[in-house]
Structure 1
Amino acid sequence: MRFAISIPQFVADGEFDPAAFRAYVQRAETLGFHSGWTQEQFLGTFPHLNALETMAYAAACTDTLRLGCAVFVTPLHNPVHLAKHLSSLDQLSRGRLEAGVGTGGRGRPFGAFGITGEGLVTRFTEGLHVMRELWTKPSVTFDGRFWQLENASMEPKPFQKPGPPVWFGGSHPNALARAVRLGDGFFGAGSTTTAKFAEQVAIVREANPDFPIAKRIYIDVDDNGDRAREHVADGLAAIYGKRGLEAVAVAGTPEDCVRGVQEVADAGAELILFTPVRDQANQMERLAAEVMPQVS
C-alpha cells in the first residue's frame, strides 16, 4: 500500500505563503508519502492555483517526492504544448512526474478553449498518441482528425523512459476499458463513492488483473466525528459548488477514518491519495500518525 497527499492549491489572491508551502511538501517527503498531487481547474470562483506551476514549485522544494496531477483534462490542451510542459517538468524533477489524464466529460466550457465537444474521445486519444510519439520518437509524422504533424521533433524527451506513468481518470465502462488499453493505471475520482469505485475496479480487473489502481479520498480527521463530517461537507461544497456530496468522503474520528480508508484499500486501491478539505498541514500529520499505520 502506498499513500499520497494533495499539494496545497486552494489559495486566494495574495495569500500564497512560499515558506509554508515549502515546509509542507518537504514534510510530506519526510513522512514517507509516495507522491504529492495537484488538480486542474481553469475557471470558477473557487481560488485554485494552476497544476503545472504548482508541481514545478513543489519539484524545486523536494528531492524524492513524486509529483502528479489527477487529472489533466487533455482535450482542453494542445498536445504538443502539454507534451513539452510535461517533458520539461520530468527533466527538472529528475524523473519524478506522474501524469493523470481524462476527457473531462461533455459538460466543459469548450468554447472558452477554442474548441467544441465534437469528437471528444477522438480528440483525447489522438492527443495522447501525439504526446507519446513526441516523447519517444526522433521524428513524428501524424495525420489525424484534429492534429497533424510532419517530421516534427521534440527535445529533450522526458527523463523517464519511455515517459512518465500515465494514469487515466473516468467512470464510464468505455472509459475504464480505454484506461486499460491505453494507460498505465486507473485513478478513481474523489467524487466517487467507495461502492462505485469497487464496481469500477471489478471492470478494470476483469480486463487486466495486474493493472495499477489508485483512488483520491477527500478526508477529514477530528477527535469529534460530527465536527469532521461538518468540515468535509463544507469543504466539498466549496470545491464543487454544491452540497450533498458527503457520501464520497471519509470523515470522522481516527478510528472512523481508518475504517473508511481500509474499505477503499479493500476495494482495490493500491495507491491512496488523501485530499484534506482544511488545515492541510495538520491533517497530513494526523493521517501519517493515526491512519496510515493502521491500513494494510
Structure 2
Amino acid sequence: MRVGLNLTLQYPPGEDPGRALDDHLRLVDAVRAAGWDSVFVAQHYLSEEMAHLQPLPLLGRLSAVAEGMRLGSGICLLALQHPVDAAEAYATADVLTGGRLVFGAGLGYRELEYDAFAVPKGGRLSRFTDNLDLVKRLWAGEAVDADLPWCRLDGARLSVLPVQRPGPPVWLAANGDKAVARAARIGDAWMINPHASMTTVERQLALFRTARAEAGLAPATDVPLMREVVCAPDRSTAAARARRHLAAKYAVYKDWGQDTVLPEGDRFDADLAELSRDRFAIGDPADCLRTLREWTRRTRTTELLLRVHWAGAPIQEALESVELLSTEVLPYL
C-alpha cells in the first residue's frame, strides 16, 4: 500500500498566498523526506470562504521538489475545461513528472462554478463524459474528430504526448451511486472521497466492483482512499484541533451543498463528534493506527491519501501530524 498527501492548498481569504504556498511546500518536503509516495492537489474556483490555488501551476512547481513521488490532480473539474487544453496541459504535467502523473477528474457540484463558466445544468454530465473521451483519445495519439458546441476538431492530434502510454491513469471522483457505477465503466479507479462515511464507502465499493465486472472490465488495480486525519500527541489535543479547523471546513462544505450529492442519509448536519464517527481519523497515534488499519482492511486500499491540514490551521500542527503518522502509524499498517 502506498501513502500520499492530499494537499488542498486552501487558505483564509486575505492571507498572503505566497506564505500559504511556502507553508504547503514545507509540508510536501516533510512527507517526501518521510518516504510518502504521492501528492495530490485539488481544484475549486471562486471559493470565497477558502481561497484556493490552482492545481496545474502547482503540479509544475511540485514536479521540481517532490522527487520520485507520484503527483496527481484530486480533482480536475473536467466539465469546466476545454478538452484540448486539458489534454495538452496534463500531458505536459506528465512530462514534467517523468511519467508519474495521475489524472483525477470529477463532475463537481457547485452551482457557482458552473454558472461562472456558463455550463448549463442539463448538459454537465454529457460534457464531462465527452471531454474525458476526447482527452483520452488525444493522449493516445489518435487523429480526433469532434463537433460539439464547445469543441470542434478535424483530425486533431496532440503535438506533446504524455510519457505514460496510452496516457496517465484516470481516477474519477464520485459521490452518488450512479456516479460510482459510471466511474467503474469509464475510469481506471474510483477516487474515494474523504467525506463519505466508511459504511457508505464500503457499500459503494461493492457497487463499483460489480459495475466493472458487468462491463467486462478487469478489477481496478488502484483503490485510492482519501481521508481526513488529525493525529496529535494525545486525544484531547487532536479533538481541539479538529474542532477549530476541520469542523470549520465541513461547515463551509455544507453551505456549498457538498453533502447533497452523497447518498441519502449521509449528511454534514451533525456536530463534529457525530460527523467524525466512521468518517474521520482523529486522536493519538494509537487511535489513528487502529482506525486506518480497519478502513484499509475493509476497502483493500492500495493508496491511502491523507489530508492533514485545513484553511486557517497552523502549518506546524500539520507537520507534527505528519511526523507522528510517519513514525508511529504508517510503518505498522
TM score, norm. by length of structure 2: 0.82
Q: CA deviation at 1:172?
A: 1.8
Q: Secondary structure at the match of 1:114?
A: coil
Partner of 1:217: 227
Question: Which of 1 and 2 has higher RCO (CA within 8 Å, sep 6+)?
Answer: 2
- Residue 224 to residue 290, structure 1, CA distance change in 2 (3 Å): same
The worse-fitting range, judged by mean Cα deviation, of 137-146 and 216-225 is 137-146
Give the CA deviation at 1:190. Answer: 0.9
Instruction: Report SS of the residue matched to 2:10.
Output: coil
Matched, 1:104 2:117: no
C-alpha RMSD over aligned residues: 2.1
Aligned match for 1:56, one of 60, 65, 78: 60
Match of 1:66 in 2: 70
Q: How is 1:186-225 mapped onto 2 (pairs within 5 angstroms)?
A: 186-208=190-212, 210-211=219-220, 212-225=222-235
Distance in 2 of aligned mates of 1:108 and 1:47: 15
Please tell me whether the aligned partners of residues 5 and 284 of structure 1 are also in contact (alpha carbons under 8 angstroms): no
Q: Could you say which residue in structure 2 is the equivalent of 1:34?
A: 37
State the partner residue of 1:76: 80
Shift of 1:145: 6.1
Query: Where does residue 272 of structure 1 map in the other structure?
Result: 304
SS at match of 1:83: helix
Q: CA shift at 1:273, angstroms? A: 0.5
Offset at residue 23 of structure 1 (A): 4.4
Q: Is the 8 A contact 1:99 1:164 kept in 2?
A: yes
Given the two structures, how large is their TM-score scaled by the length of structure 1? Answer: 0.91
- What CA distance in whole angstroms lies between the structure 2 residues aligned with 1:8 and 1:102? 15
Percent of residue pairs identical: 26
Partner of 1:24: 27
Q: Could you give the per-residue CA deviations for residues 172-197 of structure 1, whole angstroms, max 9, x where no partner exists?
A: 22211211111111111111111111
> 1:120-131, aligned counterparts within 5 Å?
120-131=124-135
Amino acid at match of 2:325: L
Post-superposition shift, 1:20? 5.1
- 1:9 matched residue in structure 2: 9
Q: Cα offset for 1:106?
A: 6.4
Q: Kindly indicate whether the alpha-carbon contact (under 8 Å) linking 1:127 and 1:147 is maintained by their aligned counterparts in 2.
A: no
Is the 2:185–2:212 Cα contact (8 Å) retained in structure 1?
Answer: no
Give the Cα separation in 1 of the matches to 2:17 and 2:128. 35
Contact 2:45 / 2:113 at 8 angstroms: preserved in 1?
no
Counterparts of 2:169 and 2:128, CA distance in 1: 17
Superposition pairs of residues 167-182 of structure 1, within 5 angstroms:
167-182=171-186
Matched, 1:259 2:290: yes
Moved >4 Å (runs of 4+): 17-23
